[in-house]
Structure 1
Amino acid sequence: MKKIYFFTVLLSFLASSQNQDSLQLPANDALNESLHKEKVSAIDDVIITGSLKPVSRSKSPVAVEIYTSKFFQKNPTPSIFESIAMINGVKPQLNCSVCNTGDIHINGLEGPYTMILIDGMPIVSSLSTVYGLSGIPNSLVDRIEVVKGPASSLYGSEAMGGVINIITKNALTAPKFSVDMMTTTWSENNLDLSTKFNLGLNAASILSLNYFNFTKRFDENSDNFTDGALQNRISVFNKYNFKRAENRQASFALRYLYEDRFGGEMQWTKANRGGSDIYGESIYTNRVEAFGLYQWPLKEQIFTQFSYNFHDQNSYYGNSLFSATQKVAFLQTYWNKKLKNHDLLFGVTYKKTHYDDSTPGTKAANGIDNQPMNAPLAGIFVQDQWDVGEKNTFLLGYRLDYDKIHHAVHSPRFAWKFSPDALHALRLNIGTGFRVVNLFTEDHAALTGSREVVIKDNLMPERSFNGNLNYLWKIPVSEQIFTVDASAFYTYFTNKITGDFDSDPDKIIYDNLKGYGVSRGFSLNFDYTFSFPLSFLIGVSYLDVYQKFDDSREKVQQLHAPKWSGTYSLTYRFQNNIAVDFNGQFYGPMRLPTVTDDFRPEYSPFYSLANIQVSKSFSSGFEVYCGVKNLFNFTPDNPILRPFDPFDRNVDDAVSNPNRYTFDTTYGYAPMQKIRGFLGIKYSLK
Structure 2
Amino acid sequence: MRKILMLLVAVTNFGLLYSQEIPKDSMPQNEEELEEVVIQSTRTSRTIKNTPTRIESIDAEELEEKTNMKAANVSLILHESTGLQVQQTSATSGNSSIRVQGLDGKYTQLLKDGYPNFGNFASGLSILEIPPLDLKQVEVIKGPSSTLFGGGAIAGVINFISKTPTEKGEHNFILNQSNIRQTNLGAYSSMRKGKWGYAILGLVNFQNSYDVDNDDFSEVPKSDNFTINPRLFYYPNETTSLMIGNSFTKGNMKGGDMHVIDGNSNADHTYFEENQTMRNTTTLELDKKMANANSFKLKQSLSFFDRQINIPNYQFSGFNTNVFTDASYVWNKENQTIISGINIMYDDFNQKEVVTLDAKSFTTGIYIQHTWDVTQKIKLENGLRFDNVTYSNSIFSKNQSFLLPKISALFLINSKWSSRIGGGLGYKTPTIFTEQTEENQYQNLLPLNNVIAEQSIGATGDLNYKSFIFEDLLFSANQMFFITQINKPLVLENDGVNSFFVNASKPVISKGFETNAKFIFKEDFKLFLGYTFTNAEEKYRSGNQIMPLLPKNKLNLALIYEKENNFKLGLEGYFTDQQFLNNGEHTPAFWEFGFMAEKTLWKHFSFFINFENFTDTRQSNYKRVVNGSNNNPTFDDIWTHTEGFTVNSGVKIKL
**TM superposition score normalised by structure 2:** 0.88
Q: Residue 436 of structure 1 is aligned with which of 411, 414, 429? A: 429
Give the whole-Å Cα distance in 1 for the aligned partners of 2:389 and 2:238. 38
1:665/1:175 CA distance change after superposition, 3 Å: farther
Q: Residues 574-612 of structure 1, C-alpha deviation per residue, up to 9 Å, x if partnerless?
A: 5881221112432111112338xxxxxx22222233211
Residues 225-264 of structure 1 aligned to structure 2 (within 5 Å): 225-264=217-256
Residues 503-652 of structure 1 aligned to structure 2 (within 5 Å): 510-531=501-522, 533-549=524-540, 552=542, 554=543, 556-574=545-563, 577-594=566-583, 602-637=585-620, 638=623, 640-647=625-632
Asked if structure 2 preserves the Cα contact closer than 8 Å seen for 1:288 and 1:311, the reply is yes
Amino acid at match of 1:413: K
Residues 287-366 of structure 1 aligned to structure 2 (within 5 Å): 287-296=279-288, 300-358=294-352, 362-363=355-356
Amino acid at match of 2:185: L
Amino acid at match of 2:387: D
Q: What SS is found at the alignment partner of 1:302?
A: strand
Amino acid at match of 1:414: I
1:555/1:532 CA distance change after superposition, 3 Å: same
Give the whole-Å Cα distance in 2 for the aligned partners of 1:396 and 1:447. 40
1:664/1:243 CA distance change after superposition, 3 Å: same
Give the whole-Å Cα distance in 1 for the aligned partners of 2:160 and 2:65. 18
Amino acid at match of 2:582: P
Give the whole-Å Cα distance in 2 for the aligned partners of 1:167 and 1:74. 17
1:182 aligns with 2:179: no
Asked if structure 2 preserves the Cα contact closer than 8 Å seen for 1:178 and 1:193, the reply is yes
Asked if structure 2 preserves the Cα contact closer than 8 Å seen for 1:356 and 1:373, the reply is yes
Q: What SS is found at the alignment partner of 1:316?
A: strand
The structural deviation recorded for 1:261 is 0.7
Give the whole-Å Cα distance in 2 for the aligned partners of 1:620 and 1:276. 56
Give the whole-Å Cα distance in 2 for the aligned partners of 1:622 and 1:147. 35
Q: Residue 71 of structure 1 is aligned with which of 32, 50, 62? A: 62
1:575/1:620 CA distance change after superposition, 3 Å: closer
1:684 alignment partner in structure 2: 654
1:452/1:544 CA distance change after superposition, 3 Å: closer
User: Where do 5+ consecutive residues of structure 2 fail to align?
Assistant: 1-28, 391-397
Amino acid at match of 2:183: N
1:494 alignment partner in structure 2: 487
1:377/1:575 CA distance change after superposition, 3 Å: closer
1:448 alignment partner in structure 2: 443
Asked if structure 1 preserves the Cα contact closer than 8 Å seen for 2:316 and 2:442, the reply is no
The structural deviation recorded for 1:233 is 0.9
1:54 alignment partner in structure 2: 45
Amino acid at match of 2:519: Y
1:481 alignment partner in structure 2: 474
1:119/1:275 CA distance change after superposition, 3 Å: farther
Give the whole-Å Cα distance in 1 for the aligned partners of 2:516 and 2:90. 31
Amino acid at match of 1:208: L
Give the whole-Å Cα distance in 2 for the aligned partners of 1:510 and 1:613. 45
Amino acid at match of 2:610: G
Amino acid at match of 1:605: P
Q: What SS is found at the alignment partner of 1:482?
A: strand
The structural deviation recorded for 1:644 is 2.6
The structural deviation recorded for 1:241 is 2.9
Aligned residues: 610
Which sits farther off after the overlay, 286-295 or 105-114? 286-295
Q: Residues 123-156 of structure 1, C-alpha deviation per residue, up to 9 Å, x if partnerless?
A: 2112222123212111121110001111122211
Give the whole-Å Cα distance in 1 for the aligned partners of 2:600 and 2:97. 34
1:383 alignment partner in structure 2: 369
Q: What SS is found at the alignment partner of 1:541?
A: strand
Q: Residues 167-215 of structure 1, C-alpha deviation per residue, up to 9 Å, x if partnerless?
A: 01112367442211111122211111122355x5111111211111111
1:521/1:332 CA distance change after superposition, 3 Å: same
Asked if structure 2 preserves the Cα contact closer than 8 Å seen for 1:328 and 1:352, the reply is yes
Give the whole-Å Cα distance in 2 for the aligned partners of 1:446 and 1:486. 40
Q: Percent identity?
A: 18
Asked if structure 2 preserves the Cα contact closer than 8 Å seen for 1:100 and 1:228, the reply is yes
The structural deviation recorded for 1:460 is 2.8
Q: What SS is found at the alignment partner of 2:522?
A: coil
1:53/1:664 CA distance change after superposition, 3 Å: farther
1:373 aligns with 2:346: no
1:669 aligns with 2:639: yes
1:114 alignment partner in structure 2: 108
Asked if structure 1 preserves the Cα contact closer than 8 Å seen for 2:350 and 2:358, the reply is yes
Give the whole-Å Cα distance in 2 for the aligned partners of 1:210 and 1:576. 25
Asked if structure 2 preserves the Cα contact closer than 8 Å seen for 1:463 and 1:493, the reply is yes
Which sits farther off after the overlay, 89-98 or 67-76? 67-76
Amino acid at match of 1:629: E
Q: Residues 418-471 of structure 1, C-alpha deviation per residue, up to 9 Å, x if partnerless?
A: 11223221100011111011222373537434x763521xx3321111110011
Give the whole-Å Cα distance in 2 for the aligned partners of 1:336 and 1:564. 41
Asked if structure 1 preserves the Cα contact closer than 8 Å seen for 2:269 and 2:630, the reply is no
2:379 alignment partner in structure 1: 393
Asked if structure 2 preserves the Cα contact closer than 8 Å seen for 1:406 and 1:461, the reply is no
Give the whole-Å Cα distance in 2 for the aligned partners of 1:274 and 1:491. 50
1:131 alignment partner in structure 2: 125
2:393 alignment partner in structure 1: none
Asked if structure 2 preserves the Cα contact closer than 8 Å seen for 1:149 and 1:161, the reply is yes
1:328/1:576 CA distance change after superposition, 3 Å: closer
Asked if structure 2 preserves the Cα contact closer than 8 Å seen for 1:274 and 1:317, the reply is no
1:332/1:238 CA distance change after superposition, 3 Å: same
2:87 alignment partner in structure 1: 93
The structural deviation recorded for 1:511 is 2.9
1:174/1:427 CA distance change after superposition, 3 Å: farther
Asked if structure 1 preserves the Cα contact closer than 8 Å seen for 2:167 and 2:191, the reply is no
The structural deviation recorded for 1:374 is 2.1
1:278/1:414 CA distance change after superposition, 3 Å: same
1:383/1:273 CA distance change after superposition, 3 Å: farther
1:148 alignment partner in structure 2: 142
1:201 aligns with 2:222: no
The structural deviation recorded for 1:531 is 3.1
Give the whole-Å Cα distance in 2 for the aligned partners of 1:297 and 1:339. 14
Q: Residue 268 of structure 1 is aligned with which of 260, 272, 291? A: 260
Q: What SS is found at the alignment partner of 1:139?
A: coil
1:173/1:237 CA distance change after superposition, 3 Å: farther
**TM superposition score normalised by structure 1:** 0.84
Asked if structure 2 preserves the Cα contact closer than 8 Å seen for 1:171 and 1:239, the reply is no
Q: What SS is found at the alignment partner of 1:594?
A: coil
Asked if structure 1 preserves the Cα contact closer than 8 Å seen for 2:239 and 2:289, the reply is no
1:514/1:273 CA distance change after superposition, 3 Å: farther
Give the whole-Å Cα distance in 1 for the aligned partners of 2:552 and 2:205. 34
Which sits farther off after the overlay, 471-480 or 163-172? 471-480
Q: Residue 415 of structure 2 is aligned with which of 405, 419, 422? A: 422
Give the whole-Å Cα distance in 2 for the aligned partners of 1:290 and 1:639. 44
Q: CA RMSD in A?
A: 2.6
2:20 alignment partner in structure 1: none
Give the whole-Å Cα distance in 1 for the aligned partners of 2:115 and 2:215. 42
The structural deviation recorded for 1:307 is 1.4
